[in-house]
Amino acid sequence: MTVRRFIKKYGRRKKRRVGNLLSIGTICIVLIAAFGFLGASYASWSQPFTIFGSINTGSISVIVKDVIFDDSSDNYSSLSLNKDIPDGTLEQVDMNILTSAYPYNAVLIFVVENNGTIPVACEGIDASIPDKIQVEIVDAPDIIAAGQTAHIKVRFKKGYCRDFEFSTFFRFVQATG
């Protein structure tokens, strides 16, 4: 009798349809597979392209306009400073100094003008100098704006010397900051 009661009691419950679960599960599997294929096809899709361009931030053009003998140089008996300035640009300087100082410190102030389109900074001075002459920048502005004129103070230090020639040039770079 207990079996009949059990069947009576629980046998009247609604039966779930297997078709409903099967169709929802099938839809989920199909959607997962579709999204998987979509993701794989998107990951493998590529379109190559090439960008060509030219960037010009400006130009650096600094010229030396003049040179001045500074008073902070060592004492001398006589001094002559001959400058070759064609078209407003300093090309050559002949400096004759008679002194008894050893070593001799000469300080020159170079007047430079930034004719470029960007601000510049003096990074250093290069020299092709014989006989171990020392060249150093004593004072230079941090930034020389476009169109601005500035003074750069340079010290030349040399022991005994007689009739020597040398050339030097400044290194300018774009100022950042």
The answer to whether 102 and 159 have CB atoms below 8 angstroms apart is yes
For the segment 147-173, what is each residue's pLDDT rounded down to a tens digit? 999 999 998 887 776 666 777 888 999
For the segment 12-22, what is each residue's pLDDT rounded down to a tens digit? 555 555 555 56
**pLDDT value, residue 111:** 94
CATH tag for 62-174 (out of 2.60.120, 2.40.128, 2.60.40, 2.130.10) = 2.60.40
pTM above 0.75, yes or no: no
**pLDDT value, residue 118:** 92
Q: From the centroid of its chain, how far is CA 3?
A: 91
Q: Can you give the residue ranges of every domain in the chain?
A: 62-174
pLDDT at 4 over 90: no
Q: What share of the chain is helix, strand, coil (3-state, %, to 5)?
A: 25, 40, 40
pLDDT at 124 over 80: yes
Q: Which of 23-32, 84-93, 129-138 has the lowest mean pLDDT?
A: 129-138
